[in-house]
Amino acid sequence: GESVGLHLPTLSVQEGDNSIINCAYSNSASDYFIWYKQESGKGPQFIIDIRSNMDKRQGQRVTVLLNKTVKHLSLQIAATQPGDSAVYFCAERASGGSYIPTFGRGTSLIVHP
């Protein structure tokens, strides 16, 4: 059978609260970042992306912040809903390297009604 995986970092919030999911990266050459949402039993789904020449980008109820100085990325979800419960992955792509983004570890978001 499947091997036991590592425990994912977990964030538990109440419905209606704002959620902040963090992602640290190590490659200073990373120039493009993507956030994916993966619901149970489904494939990852694109949420939002940001290039390294920006420090903030907003979508519908989501905001991504990029701090290149400390190599940190965050995804903010406003007014979190039960349907936001999922695992969230950040992915980074390094300039000059493979064009394929590399997935980070993932964070499990649990929204309590």
Partner 1 sequence: DAMVIQNPRYQVTQFGKPVTLSCSQTLNHNVMYWYQQKSSQAPKLLFHYYDKDFNNEADTPDNFQSRRPNTSFCFLDIRSPGLGDAAMYLCATSRGSGGAKNIQYFGAGTRLSVL
By CB under 8 A, residue 112 contacts partner 1 = no
Decide: is 43 part of the binding site for partner 1 (CB under 8 A).
Answer: yes
Q: What separation, in Å, do the N-terminal and C-terminal C-alpha atoms of the chain show?
A: 34
CB of 35 to partner 1, least distance (A): 11
Are the beta carbons of 107 and 8 closer than 8 angstroms?
yes
Q: Which residue, chain included where needed, has tokens 């903010």?
A: 76
Residue 21 interacts with partner 1 (CB under 8 A): yes or no? no
Half-sphere exposure of residue 97, counting CA atoms within 13 Å on the CB side? 13
* Amino acid occupying residue 10: T
Smaller CB separation from partner 1, 11 or 15? 11
Contact, 111 vs 13, CB < 8 A? yes
Span near partner 1 by CB under 8 A; candidates 16-24, 39-47, 55-63, 64-72: 39-47
User: Is 113 a binder of partner 1 (CB under 8 A)?
Assistant: no
Nearest to 89 by CA among 29, 46, 32: 46
* Closest CB 23 distance from partner 1, rounded Å: 11
Residues that bind partner 1 (CB under 8 A): 1-8, 32, 34, 36, 41-46, 49, 51, 89, 93, 99-101, 103-106
